[in-house]
Amino acid sequence: MSVAGSQRSVTAGSTAADLFGQDRTTLVARVNGQLRDLAHELADGDLVEPVGADSDEGLAVLRHSAAHVLAQAVQQINPKARLGIGPPIQDGFYYDFDVETPFTPEDLKALEKAMQRIINEGQTFRRRVVTEDAARLELADEPYKCELIGLKSGASQDVSSVEGAFAEVGAGELTIYDNLRRDGERVWGDLCRGPHVPTTKVLGNAYKLMRTAAAYWRGSEKNPQLQRVYGTAWPTKDELKAYLERLAEAEKRDHRKLGAELDLFSFPEEIGSGLAVFHPRGGVIRKEMEDYSRRRHEEEGYEFVYSPHITKGKLFQTSGHLDWYAESMYPPMHLDEELDVDGAVTKQGQDYYLKPMNCPFHCLIFRARGRSYRELPLRLFEFGSVYRYEKSGVVHGLTRVRGMTQDDAHIYVTAQQLQSELKALLTFVINLLKDYGLDDFYLELSTRNEEKYVGTDENWAKATEALGQAAADSGLDLVDDPGGAAFYGPKISVQARDAIGRTWQMSTIQVDFNLPERFELEYQSDDGSRQRPIMIHRALFGSVERFFAVLTEHYAGAFPPWLAPVQVIGIPVADEYNDYLFDIADRLKASRIRVEVDTSDDRFPKKIRTAQKSKVPFMLIAGEDDRSAGAVSFRYRDGSQKNGVPIAKAVAEIVEAVESRRQV
């Protein structure tokens, strides 16, 4: 057989553990491409490789085994708990349980202790093939497991459609994994496809239970809610520690926290859930973001339009929004109705809606007069405020709000122009995002859902091809999202990774065959015929609020100078140098730099501390040494300093940093 690339002979009946068992970092084996337990018996001609926790697959096995240990601990403490599913996930695992009372934080502590006991026992995981009938008998007390067995015996796609369920029953034989103590006593078992780590010892103490939550059984809100316990598990304690530090870092960057600390925005309860106000400091950032975006759109041939926040319901009937999205629209205001004394309607009223999207308005602008092919591509841009009645549990900081402003544009093109427009658009999008300091992207191409779509096969094929081509030309990684498109056309979305490696869906570019149809949009072609344009929906930030949140977290509140609310703070060594700094500030202001001088009666080190905490990019410090030399001293955000810089040079350095939109 072939072992880790080289040919070897082993005695009949050897297991993978015989080959790799001495290497404790090997958790499972890949045998002929399939992950197997180390106890798996090898056959002649097998291709065998070791798999450790340094691979994604090995890590997933480790975490799945941790989920089993958790489940054993839960049933040890509460034998009445019924098992749901327990798959590995990004950075950890979870297990769902049907229990009478939800878990408390104290329960988690107790569970961690019980898990540690199980781990210390060094239980082995033993795979056991069972027939469906035997499994049903053995798991008679586990209704959810039985349901999974039923799913497996039915259409196999049902199993994979239940997130995580595949890990339980898989596609091949039905198996149960038993946990055995060292003396061979079976202490616990669970329906599971496997594979598992050889013993619980492997988990060491590099795991932690993180939180509890409810989750619908099989992911449907029609099903009962189970109690989910989330945990994390790592190959080593150091990696666990590093993970917890990453979480702490993410918490420090949380835009909701920074928004309050840096006085950027707030969500006054009086206004309503998911409705933000931007304070002056946040307002500056937002204005800079928007101003720069406007400038770039202007340069790219966009025209600026404006539309109202409310409209008669008819518009959203025409567009179809009321058919599909009424549930997440604010309910209508019924206006203009008049009644006589008996309450009978004498004048028919009208329903007005807050707008959830801008596109219908832009279509009306297109339709306001006859259009010529010479006008296409017609690019209509608007910072359009939209309102969506998001369900109460989903509102989240600035990233999921009920009122937001989209940097929304609709581009009307001929079929011939679609390809080149999409390509130019994608370049524009990526470059703009880069200007804001994001530089690590990949693309996702969402294609037609065969169950639900409008438009001709030909149009879909062309648009999908055009988007795919534009994506390929960008040179970025492309992930397919088959069936993920909206019913009206295919879509590309740009995913950006931030400074700590999290990905955010940013821009979307969607081709739409539907709205031009519904609004009966037409242009006159060069041959005199009337043609229907194709429409492209695109937003670069998505929503300004959300993009603001992403940038805040990306920069951890330390915005690059061009976005920073206060770009320069002058700090005198003593009051005597206030005026000297005011003169320098005036010179900076002449170059449109946002500068303040700290004239408070705090003492010098306190002023440094205050400025440092406010994350101002440049502190300009002046004392006698500086004044007598006609100079000033820099202190940067990283704590480094540059002393005795001539004023003109200092101003030039700051202006250059702002104009180049550089981070410092």
Subset of 191-250 contacting RNA (CB under 7 A): 211-216, 219-221, 225, 227-228
Catalytic residue among 371, 410, 607, 635: 410
Confirm if 356 and 321 have CB atoms less than 8 A apart. Answer: yes
Number of H helices, E strands in the chain: 21, 35
Residue type, 330: Y
Token couple for 162: 């239940």
Per the annotation, the verdict on 408 as an active-site residue is yes
Residue closer to RNA, measured from CB, 47 or 110: 110
Binds RNA by CB under 7 A, chosen from 400, 502, 532, 661: 400
Give residue for tokens 């002449």. 590
Pairing of strands 47-52, 88-89: unpaired
**Contact between 393 and RNA (CB under 7 A)?**
yes
Residue 429 Cβ vs RNA, minimum distance, rounded to whole Å: 16
Q: Is 90 in the site for RNA (CB under 7 A)?
A: no
Say how many residues touch RNA, by CB under 7 A: 71
List, in sequence order, the alpha helices (H) in 500-543.
514-518
Considering beta carbons, is residue 253 or 379 the nearer one to RNA?
A: 253
Stretch that binds RNA, among 11-19, 237-245, 467-475, 619-627 (CB under 7 A): 619-627
From the list 359, 371, 379, 598, the catalytic residue is 359
| 394 binds RNA, rule: CB under 7 A | yes
Binding mask 329-358 for RNA (x = CB under 7 A): x--------------------------xx-
Rounded least distance, CB 10 to RNA, Å: 44
Residue 486 interacts with RNA (CB under 7 A)?
yes
Active-site entry in 406, 417, 510, 567: 406
Secondary structure class of 229 (helix, strand, coil): strand
Is 528 in contact with 281 (CB distance < 8 Å)? no
Q: State yes or no: residue 514 binds RNA (CB under 7 A).
A: no
Which H or E element spans position 414? none
Q: Are 151 and 159 in contact (CB under 8 A)?
A: yes
Question: Does 359 qualify as catalytic in the annotation?
Answer: yes
Q: How far is the CB of 405 from RNA (least distance, A)?
A: 15
Read off the DSSP letter of residue 122.
T
Helix (H, G, I), strand (E, B) or coil at 242: helix
Q: Is 537 a catalytic residue?
A: yes
Residue 314 or 609 with smaller CB distance to RNA:
609
- Out of 371, 537, 538, 635, the active site residue is 537
Q: How far apart are the first and last CA of the chain?
A: 57
What the block records as the tokens of 305 is 């339009």
Does 269 interact with RNA (rule: CB under 7 A)?
yes
Binding mask 538-557 for RNA (x = CB under 7 A): --------------------
CA 68, chain centre distance (Å): 28
Using the contact rule CB under 7 A, the part of the chain among 4-12, 38-46, 179-187, 267-275 near RNA is 267-275
Q: Which two tokens stand for residue 440?
A: 């690590």
Q: How many other C-beta atoms lie within 10 A of the C-beta of residue 597? A: 20
Nearest to 200 by CA among 69, 55, 94, 109: 69
Q: Scan residues 147-186 and list those touching RNA (CB under 7 A).
A: 163
Instruction: Check if 406 is active-site.
Output: yes
Answer yes or no: 642 catalytic: no
How many CA atoms within 13 Å lie on the side-chain side of 217?
16
Known catalytic membership, residue 598: no
- Residues designated as active site: 359, 388, 406, 408, 410, 491, 537
